[in-house]
């Protein structure tokens, strides 16, 4: 079997079994088995697979047909131009969350010069860090920052630690286990959070890739979907510096509920909602 045949057959199997983006899913697995780049998949179509590679590919296809996410199968996922180790201990980073990083970098860069004059770094807290993708993205692009990356899950922090070591930011990022902002040792300039925001009554409507494989702790937002966000808002004012900024991600049509919570817990604050590429109000920004 050559590479082109492997791609075609894999995509056909996925399509017949209801796997969306079948050609992309096939390319990811074939690329992983052969150890080639995305460009090489398209330029080396006549490359032959060994019998062992064919056997390995079939095993990966079987796992994908059982609806295990491709990112868990191959063990990594790209986010904001950087590759991260992921497994079932952590939520798979989503492209829409890159907006949270972009807005965090906007604030961090605007704050950096002022803080540099005070001879201190930009202090950042990443709440619910998971694999560490947000914290590491901010650290890599804001070398003048110091980041606290927090998660209630010790197993998630183990994955984050691997990613911090791989991307050489272990000195810049301090990993802390605890509930939301409770382990934070000092007020910070920027708080970013991608907390669970799916209503638990809606979990059954999600794909098996999410409900059967991703950690429920990272997706279940309680009866309203805003349980963890509500608790975060209750903690923010005591843990953010004057002139600081809170950024967090929400789901479609949660803006009114979030506005009510902000008006209740942060009475002087006025939220700003920023849309993702689909036009969904995805990131909330609150200044202090």
pLDDT digits (tens, 9 = 90+) for 230-286: 999 999 999 999 999 999 999 999 999 999 999 999 988 889 999 999 999 999 999
**Higher confidence at residue 162 or residue 114?**
162
Q: In this structure, are 56 and 104 located in the same domain?
A: no
Q: In this structure, are 38 and 150 located in the same domain?
A: no
Give a three-class secondary structure readout of 199-265: CHHHHHHCCHHHHCCCCHHHCECCCCCCHHHHHHHHHHHHHEEEEEEEEEECCCCCHHHHHHHHHHH
As for how many domains the chain has, the answer is 2
- The last residue of a domain, from among 19, 50, 66: 66
Q: Is the dihedral of CA 100, 220, 187, 243 positive or negative?
A: positive
pLDDT recorded at residue 42: 85
Parent domain of 52? 3-66
Taking 90 as the threshold, does the pLDDT of residue 44 lie above it? Answer: no
224 in any annotated domain:
yes
Taking the C-alpha atoms of residue 148 and residue 245, their distance in angstroms, rounded to an integer, is 15
Q: In this structure, are 145 and 227 located in the same domain?
A: yes
Q: What is the pTM of this model?
A: 0.94
Give the C-alpha distances (Å, rounded to integers) separating 288 from 183, 191, 238: 21, 11, 11
Q: In this structure, are 61 and 100 located in the same domain?
A: no
Taking 90 as the threshold, does the pLDDT of residue 12 lie above it? Answer: yes
76, 86 Cβ separation under 8 angstroms: yes
197 in any annotated domain:
yes
Backbone torsions φ then ψ of 74, nearest 5 degrees: -90, -15
75 in any annotated domain:
no
**How far from chain centre, in Å, is Cα 17?**
27
Q: In this structure, are 153 and 276 located in the same domain?
A: yes
Taking the C-alpha atoms of residue 280 and residue 142, their distance in angstroms, rounded to an integer, is 27
Q: In this structure, are 109 and 152 located in the same domain?
A: yes
């Amino acid at each position: 079997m050559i590479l082109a045949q492997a791609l075609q057959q894999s995509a056909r199997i996925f399509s017949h079994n209801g796997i969306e983006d079948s050609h992309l899913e096939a390319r990811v697995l074939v690329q992983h088995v052969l150890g080639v780049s995305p460009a090489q998949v398209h330029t080396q179509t006549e490359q032959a697979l060994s019998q062992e590679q064919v056997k390995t590919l079939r095993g990966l296809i079987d796992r994908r047909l059982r609806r295990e996410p491709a990112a868990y199968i191959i063990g990594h996922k790209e986010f904001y131009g950087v590759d991260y180790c992921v497994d079932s201990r952590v939520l798979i980073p989503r492209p829409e969350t890159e907006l949270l990083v972009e807005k965090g970098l906007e604030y961090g860069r605007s704050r950096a010069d002022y803080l540099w004059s005070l001879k201190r770094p930009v202090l950042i807290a990443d709440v619910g860090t998971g694999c560490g993708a947000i914290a590491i993205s901010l650290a890599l692009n804001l070398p003048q920052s110091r980041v606290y990356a927090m998660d209630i899950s010790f197993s998630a922090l183990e994955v984050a630690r691997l990613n911090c070591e791989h991307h050489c930011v272990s000195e810049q990022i301090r990993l802390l286990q605890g509930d939301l902002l409770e382990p934070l040792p000092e007020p910070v300039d920027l708080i970013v959070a991608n907390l669970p925001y799916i209503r638990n009554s809606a979990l059954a409507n999600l794909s098996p890739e999410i409900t059967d494989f991703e950690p429920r702790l990272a997706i279940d937002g309680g009866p309203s979907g805003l349980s963890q966000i509500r608790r975060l808002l209750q903690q923010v004012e005591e843990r953010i510096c004057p002139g600081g900024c809170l950024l967090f991600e929400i789901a479609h049509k949660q803006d009114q509920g979030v506005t009510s919570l902000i008006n209740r817990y942060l009475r002087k604050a006025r939220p700003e909602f920023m849309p993702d590429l689909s036009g969904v109000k995805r990131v909330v920004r609150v200044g202090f």
